[in-house]
Structure 1
Amino acid sequence: MAHFTRFVLFEDKFSTNLFTFILPSSFLLGTEEKLTTREFVCRHVPFALTFVKNGDQINVFLLHRSRDTERLEMTLDLSIALLCREHFTRNESFTERNCKFTNKITLHGRKSFTSVNRLCSVEYMDERGNIQCELEIKNLSISYITEVQLSPQLVNPQYAHVMQATSNRQPIDAKIETPSFFYSNYEWNVVIQPKLDSVGQLGHFRMYLQRLTPCDYSVKISYRVKLIAGTYTWDSYQERKSTNPNDTNTYEINYTDIHGLCRPFRIDRVRDLLQTEGKFTVTVELKDAVTVIPIIVDPFAPNPVPIPFLDKDQQAWTVEAYIEEQCFIIRLYYSDIFKIPTDYIRSICFNITVRNFNDSKITTSVFPKPVTKYYAQKESDEGLEISTTLDVDELNDRGYLNEQQCVTIEIEMFFSHLMYLPEYSPLDDIVRKQKQQIMRELLTAQNENFQLEKKIHELQMTIQNPSMSGRLSDFGNGAQGGLNAAATPEVVRKYYEKKYGDKGSTSNPPLSNYSSAASFDGGQSNSPSMRNGGLIGKGLSSSIPQPNVTMGARSSTFKFPTKLSDSIQNTINNTSQSLQSKLPASLQKLPASLTQGPTMNMLANKFQNAFS
């Protein structure tokens, strides 16, 4: 079996989940043709990763293992990589985007991903012959889709007056329940209940999500509902936005009550839903479902009172609260820590909030964001002590205490993973090594890109104003006061200071003769300029055509009123080819997005096309 060893959740816009597995050497070197990982959960949906040998080739697939594959549809982006121990550029990897899982398509992956001979080398295998595999899942979208057919009495009101047998008669306002589906260890369905007006006709619909699995605590579920009937679409997000334009949250956030019911929606546009003979499609986009366990604690008891509870995975916990130095303290114990298998570790992500008794909408979070804690097998848990920001005065004055002087805290359980290898492993060195290699390559590419941009800019300025060629050459020869290095004109120095800060400035002091942009451009100026030890008068400088450019612009458009001479055109072509041939090898291998600027190939081509 391929062991699940590490998990990382990235708080980015893609909601990236990164899983790490260990492929044993027995699979590559033995006769076993199929290897499947233990079932793991991503966004409350179970998956499994399987490897299949086909001769010398290895196929890899991601399997959907949900209890309900008939009505749930999912789309996601997946990426699988086998890590090379020497360098990250030699990782065996592939990426699949917009993978859709339905009741007919339950796996996605790639055939002939890699070969056994390639993996059976020191570059991939460690001293035990194991290989590290990373699975990345992001942009996971989960939807429940079903069809609803209203009764004929609702579609045609005249049927309500037709006499029927008592045994077959159904009330016109009888609620309609959709087929159930499973999500986050719970069974759910959608309930649509017609509501009659004062004259007994259909007035509006009430629709709500219902948790069918009984439990003693609440579930905070984030979802979005759409009803589609022909050309009409009812959207819960659009309905909420019409009443509150400042609300940018796409999903509804509801808490189930003790009966498992969520807050209902009201649908008034009944005729639009009935335009297709009472048949329409219900789509529920599921984002998250967090188990919320409310616990009432007595912090003022002489001795802390332990209160046991079970999470959604039926793991036993204990919580107690007390006052210490006028501060409200919570201590959390993992009671079933001794049940964790040997050589395994459990990763649990949770958050704790304190609910206000007088105003239930007010909560105080104990942590700035959900925390993740790792538990390995022990005889007993020493407990996690949590100091809240609430003191005794705030508990009394702000309405957190009930009539019995108790406080209600809520523990939110986000995920729980059982992973192999609880201790530090040499396999962790691969990730750290590759991270260091990537950062080193990136810094080198950025430095080379900066130097190339600087050279290109100086060359652009020289071609815009041919007189600058003589000026820069004079500075390079030390004509001005015996300087050993070329001084940077003031406008170029300001350009690089504005763009790069201190990194763009040069060590040479600016010369007063070139402190203005007008003299640097070679345009008309009342003050004379120095060139080759002589003065350039007003008439001489006016003979130079003025280019239509913005000084220091990164993507300037060059428009000369006259055609360039053949000598200048040849100089441009030769210089561009020379710079392009000197492109560093490390910069050629990296994509342009990693260098935070145009690469030399892009600059050379753009520079060459500007004058062609």
Structure 2
Amino acid sequence: MALLYRFAQLHDRSGTRVFSFVVTRTVVRDPERDVTSKELVCGFQRWAVAFSRGEKVLGVYLVWRGASRNLRVYVDFTFTLLNREHFSMNESFSGKRVKFTYEAPAQGNRSYIAVADLYSRNFADTNGEFQLELSMANVRTVYMTEVRMPTSVFSAGQTKPSKLETDYFAFGGFDWNLVIYPHGKDADGCRGQDSRMSVYLMRLSGFDHRCRVRYSLALGEGERRIDSGQIEDISDAEGCGFGWHTRVRWSDIAHKGTLRVSLEMLEARTICEVAVQALGTSVLPAAPCYDRDKQAWAIRADLNSDTVRLHLVYKDIHNVPRNHLRYVSWSAYLLRGEGPNITAIGLPGEPFSRYYVQESVDEGIIMETNVDMNEVKENHCPYLTDKGQLRIRLEWNESHLLFQATYHKYDDVCRVHNQQMRREIVSLQAENYSLERQLFSYQKSLAYAQAQQQQQQQHPNQQHHSVVGHQGHLERSASSDTEYA
């Protein structure tokens, strides 16, 4: 069994996530048993860690759980076995831009480490358990397919289809597909008047939530190719967004009735929008909302400050499994405007995150805003609706269920490694400082030697010039006397 134990997010450009697992002795002692971890989410895709037991060697694999046809996922990943003695003895292997496909959803190393080395090199403890870290970064999801206009002979009165659809694929916990209108789409969903192509990204599942999605789309190949650039859209309760309305016709980019479609999915985040009462009685009511896992939350406005504050409470905190942690990350926005022109203003300090353990009641978390209380009381706040409410958007980023809610001996390994690395860094800094001082001393000595050499070269030259000049003066004097005589 492999238990997801700890999670860390590095705020770097690669979007690195580090997952720590505690691997029990059944992986080593029961070679006939297939050991696979529970699913985890990274880069809006579902993954798992699997182990294989061969002839005296242990293999480990990263398995893509959301495999779909025509979908490819690229990821940088690193597996690291944590040594209980010193971090320099950790055993790692990694891959860059590793491709996962429907035909090959698992990638890894079948000869990661010898089983005997787990004990002799101090990876496993006395219970036969060891720790494994998985680092993932630069996760890219690319969907590529071709759509073809039917070329069969149409009977009288029968027209070509007004839309073409691709097969579905998984991303962000939802199923999606592309709907292409070769001749455009008007308000009634029929063929458009200007025959310009339109493309819609449709969500086929999870209709109990809205979703903010970001993607880029390309149609055609070679000189016929057109790119949409990054598109940010809101997938409504019916799974439809605003779409991409091109300026070209089907015949401009299709080749022999076939169109090449390339889609890169960047993010898909579940959102919920609530109206929070900001005017009224001293104790304002709380507005209920739900996250991606259908867990209940409540949010209310707190007016006991110079600015409006929002109090978010996890109502289903009692549903967290015993001896587990639930890590939740979210972003919060104030909304202004309507429809496509809506503006979302992020709250200071977002994104927010917190660990939750099983308790009877959650005390909640306070989120500050920049909304002045005087503007709210005087009803001059641009975020207030006619009913005296603030519209809040909660965007659920990540949620992970972690084993072991309290500090444990497994945490000691990382803390020891931390201290060892700090000592190594201090030692390297001292050594680097010493080398820099030696280098400066060598440069100073070299510069002094070069200056001395230049002075020695200039001194004989000056003496030579003075002697030659004196002789020339005597010769000129003698010549003048002779001529005068």
More strand by share: 2
Q: Same fold (TM over 0.5)?
A: yes
Change in 2 beyond 3 A, CA 1:426/1:194: same
d(CA) in 1 for partners of 2:166 and 2:269?
23
Question: Conserved in 1, the CA contact under 8 Å of 2:27 and 2:51?
Answer: no
Matched, 1:16 2:16: yes
The structure 1 residue matched to 2:301, chosen from 317, 321, 327, is 321
The structure 2 residue matched to 1:170, chosen from 112, 137, 159, is 159
Query: What's the TM-score, normalizing by structure 1?
Result: 0.68
Question: Conserved in 1, the CA contact under 8 Å of 2:289 and 2:296?
Answer: yes
| Aligned residue pair count | 455
Within a 5 Å distance, the mapping from 1:390-539 to structure 2 comes to 390-395=371-376, 396-456=379-439, 458-459=441-442, 462=445, 467=449, 520=451, 522-523=453-454, 538-539=458-459
Could you report, residue by residue, the CA deviation over 1:331-358 in whole angstroms, capped at 9, with x for unpaired residues? 2222222122111111000011111258
SS in 2 for 1:363: strand
Change in 2 beyond 3 A, CA 1:126/1:374: same
Question: Conserved in 2, the CA contact under 8 Å of 1:25 and 1:128?
Answer: yes
Shift of 1:189: 1.4
- 2:478 — aligned with what? none
Q: Counterpart of 2:211 in structure 1: which amino acid? A: V
d(CA) in 2 for partners of 1:102 and 1:73?
5
The structure 1 residue matched to 2:310, chosen from 330, 349, 358, is 330
SS in 2 for 1:223: strand
Within a 5 Å distance, the mapping from 1:117-128 to structure 2 comes to 117-121=116-120, 123-128=122-127
Question: Conserved in 1, the CA contact under 8 Å of 2:68 and 2:170?
Answer: no
SS in 2 for 1:319: strand
Question: Conserved in 2, the CA contact under 8 Å of 1:301 and 1:322?
Answer: no
Q: Counterpart of 1:110 in structure 2: which amino acid? A: N
- 1:188 — aligned with what? 176
Change in 2 beyond 3 A, CA 1:151/1:414: same
d(CA) in 2 for partners of 1:416 and 1:429?
25
d(CA) in 2 for partners of 1:322 and 1:275?
57
Could you report, residue by residue, the CA deviation over 1:294-329 in whole angstroms, capped at 9, with x for unpaired residues? 001112232332322222222222222242245423
Question: Conserved in 2, the CA contact under 8 Å of 1:194 and 1:202?
Answer: no
- 2:274 — aligned with what? 295
d(CA) in 2 for partners of 1:542 and 1:382?
89
Shift of 1:56: 1.3
Could you report, residue by residue, the CA deviation over 1:415-463 in whole angstroms, capped at 9, with x for unpaired residues? 1111100111222222222222223223323332343344345446656
d(CA) in 1 for partners of 2:115 and 2:237?
55
Question: Conserved in 1, the CA contact under 8 Å of 2:297 and 2:315?
Answer: yes
Shift of 1:277: 0.9
Matched, 1:61 2:61: yes
Q: Counterpart of 2:425 in structure 1: which amino acid? A: L
Shift of 1:82: 0.6
Change in 2 beyond 3 A, CA 1:272/1:90: farther
- 1:133 — aligned with what? 132
Q: How many percent identity over aligned positions?
A: 27
Higher relative contact order (CA 8 A, sep 6+): 2
Matched, 1:104 2:103: yes
- 1:372 — aligned with what? 353
Shift of 1:219: 1.2
Superposed CA RMSD in Å reads 2.9
SS in 1 for 2:259: strand
Change in 2 beyond 3 A, CA 1:332/1:453: closer
d(CA) in 2 for partners of 1:119 and 1:542?
77
- 2:466 — aligned with what? none
Q: Counterpart of 1:539 in structure 2: which amino acid? A: H
Query: What's the TM-score, normalizing by structure 2?
Result: 0.85
- 2:479 — aligned with what? none
- 1:547 — aligned with what? none
